[in-house]
Amino acid sequence: MNRWLAPPVDHVRIHASHGYAVAALVARELPVDIKYRDGVDAVSALARGECDLAGFHLPLGEFRAACADTYRRWLDPQRHVLVHLTLRKQGLFLGKGNPKRIAGLSDLSRDDIRFVNRQHGSGTRMLLDLALRKLGIDPDRVNGYSSAELTHSAIAAFVASGMADVGFSVEPAAHHFGLDFLPAVDEDYYFACDRTRLERAPLSAVIELLRGSAFHASVDQLQGYDPSECGKLVDLDAGLSGAGA
């Protein structure tokens, strides 16, 4: 066989929703290629065989089923399994000292509040849409809701610079930019992958690292992150429903 026509695949291809635990994994000396994209794009890429790990997140509680349905169409319980990465907190990013006296999501409807949002298709924006509608708030009437930033750090930077009064994202970014953080929801971050590849290199090396104490310690240093289940395999249906959390 001509090796130039069939080069060996020696990197784990990761398509994932942006997150600090994912970044901690990529920072390790492992053969991985990362593409940050929204969770739906990630799991659809997995279904097409374009990546080996697809990262997405699901809230604990009442909005989980609605969010899970967005991913379910791309995932096959017979073919795919979930690997737990971390439990993490999402909430409101506020200027230091909370100068606008924002008490919760209901304050996003105020005329004097400028909001900065994640991009369309992101799991964070999907969750926020559901939460606001439950409160009787039309997301389209929130000042700044049509904005679209691709990372948690970008959300924090907007609030820290004074370009927005509030954002909604994961806790480490708020602390990194010196912001106040008001927790709103806990969520599971998962990698979906093909069952048949779990024990084959190079993916097996990544799974082994996820289960190691050194990686757990690095994720544990992130505010609002809990790696106690990191590397645990979760049946697809149990994970999407929350029964495997």
Task: Name the pLDDT band for 31 (thresholds 50, 70, 90).
Answer: confident
Write the pLDDT tens digit of every residue in 159-213.
999 999 999 999 999 999 999 999 999 999 999 999 999 999 899 999 999 999 9
Residue 212, beta-bridge partner list: none
- DSSP helix/strand/coil, 167: strand
Give per-residue burial for 194-211: e unless 16+ CB within 10 Å, then b: beebeeeeebeebbebbe
CA torsion sign for 245, 236, 240, 21 is positive
| CA distance between the termini of the chain | 46
Does the reported pTM lie above 0.85? yes
pLDDT higher than threshold 90 for residue 30: no
To the nearest whole percent, how much of the chain has pLDDT over 70? 96
Written as six digits, the tokens of 218 are: 């690095």
Tokens 């795919």 -> residue: 80
* Phi, psi values for residue 68, rounded to 5°: -65, -35
pLDDT value at residue 8: 44
- DSSP helix/strand/coil, 59: strand
Please state the domain extents for the chain.
12-88+187-241, 90-185
pLDDT value at residue 243: 72
pLDDT value at residue 1: 41
pLDDT value at residue 245: 52
Tokens 């970044």 -> residue: 23
Q: Which of 165, 151, 57 is nearest to 102 (CA)?
A: 165
The yes-or-no answer to whether 12-88+187-241 and 90-185 have a common fold is yes
pLDDT value at residue 79: 96
- Mean residue pLDDT of the chain comes to 93
pLDDT higher than threshold 50 for residue 7: no
Q: Which of 112, 171, 167 is nearest to 145 (CA)?
A: 167
- DSSP helix/strand/coil, 219: helix
Q: What angle do CA 147, 152, 155 make, to 5 degrees?
A: 40
pLDDT value at residue 5: 41
- The mean per-residue pLDDT over the stretch 69-80 comes to 96
Gap between the Cα atoms of 21 and 53, Å rounded: 14
* Fold (topology level) of 12-88+187-241: D-Maltodextrin-Binding Protein; domain 2 (3.40.190)
Q: What angle do CA 199, 197, 15 make, to 5 degrees?
A: 120
- The mean per-residue pLDDT over the stretch 102-129 comes to 94
Measured from the Cβ of residue 60, the count of other Cβ atoms closer than 10 Å reads 13
Rg (CA), the chain: 19
Q: Environment class of residue 86 by beta-carbon count within 10 Å: exposed (0-12), middle (13-18) or buried (19+)?
A: buried
To the nearest whole percent, how much of the chain has pLDDT over 90? 87
pLDDT value at residue 2: 43
**Residue 129 region by backbone torsions, left for phi larger than 0, else alpha for psi between -120 and 50, else beta:** alpha
The CATH H-level superfamily of 90-185 is Periplasmic binding protein-like II (3.40.190.10)
Residue 90, beta-bridge partner list: 170, 185
Task: Name the pLDDT band for 244 (thresholds 50, 70, 90).
Answer: low
- The mean per-residue pLDDT over the stretch 72-76 comes to 96
